[in-house]
């Protein structure tokens, strides 16, 4: 299964949209300091997700 998800950071007042095959692990990685857009803060909260059977369908939805 694949997931398209939307995260929100109150500190940045920004949303982030992504896709993954492991939603819990991906959220953990977003909230631990790393390089990249979401690495500047660790307050990302999951506000929405959708489940897909295929990776290609998840990628299409993410781009919408």
What's the pLDDT tens digit per position in 39-61? Answer: 888 999 999 999 999 999 999 99
Backbone angles phi, psi at 46, to 5 degrees: -75, 120
Q: What is the pLDDT of residue 38?
A: 84
pLDDT tens column, 19-44: 999 999 999 989 987 778 888 889 99
Q: What is the pLDDT of residue 40?
A: 82
Instruction: Kindly state the average pLDDT of the residues 3-15.
Output: 96
Q: What is the pLDDT of residue 53?
A: 97
Average pLDDT, the chain: 93
CA distance 23 to 64: 19
């Amino acid at each position: 299964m694949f997931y398209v998800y939307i995260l929100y950071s109150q500190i940045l007042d920004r949303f982030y949209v992504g896709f993954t095959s492991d939603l819990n692990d991906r959220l953990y990685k977003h909230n631990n300091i790393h390089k990249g857009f979401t690495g500047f803060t660790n307050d990302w909260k999951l506000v929405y997700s959708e489940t897909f059977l295929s990776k290609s369908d998840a990628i299409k939805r993410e781009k919408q």
